[in-house]
Structure 1
Amino acid sequence: MSLPFREMLVWESWFSMGIWVWCAGLMAVFIWTLSLKTLWDLARPQNLDQALTLAPYRIRAIRVLAAAAPLVGLLGTVSAMIHMFAGLQAAGLSGNRAMAGGIAEALMSTQAGLLAAIPGLFMAHVLERRHARLFRKKTP
């Protein structure tokens, strides 16, 4: 039993962008894990020396992940658009209505990348300020 073209297009678009959405989600998990661990370590005075040493490396990792997340989302969008246009051409469809659903689904990976990146950049800034303040207090 074959699926109607519209359902095939939806599933094909989901599959083609699905891995990129999951990658962006995984990046968000790493960003939040590093952010909360660093925030927790900087808040505890018993391990402050170790936290002050590790914080710049963790902040750098958060910034790299936050910078890469929108690019992963964009890659997912481009991949989904390519698959959508190939499916439209194979079915002989054209026009704005035929493309609207595929474009909307393709943009979900870009949204996932941005949802991972924006909080990551914010947390990196907050952690840098906290690290600098604690470092100034620690050094005479």
Structure 2
Amino acid sequence: MIDLSENKLSTLPATVFSNISQERLTVELWENQFVCDCKMKGIKAWIDKLDAADPMTEIRFKCSLPVRMRDLLSDNLAPDDFVCQKNDNAVPSTICQKCAPPGGQIALAVVLTFIVTALIGVLAWRCTFKRRYSDLLLY
């Protein structure tokens, strides 16, 4: 088993796994940003060939780009679906949106955490003090 999940991979050459034993091979490729164009056609053909020879083989991935292939699983695609088209390089705006820096939210969270921690500390100290010295407070 080879786990390549969450590695920001965008493509794999067809020969990437050629030097390892292919018997009951399992490769995890989830949570990567695969660009399912003509560069991935070779790896998809290799996966299909390996799967035909050994049905226990499990190698799948999810496409992120191009837009026409987004969120499609490799199991549901044929090697001929992996083509390069003229507009494939256009990155959709939903992927490129930048998040606003958290700035003030972090500062507020730090201040509130400090205040709440201080209040809990004072309350714990007062409860402990009363329990230890309550007999002296009567006088």
Q: TM-score, normalization: structure 2?
A: 0.26
Highest RCO, 1 vs 2 (Cα 8 Å, sep ≥ 6): 1
Q: TM-score, normalization: structure 1?
A: 0.26
Q: Relative to total residues, which structure has the larger helix share, 1 or 2?
A: 1
Larger Rg: 2
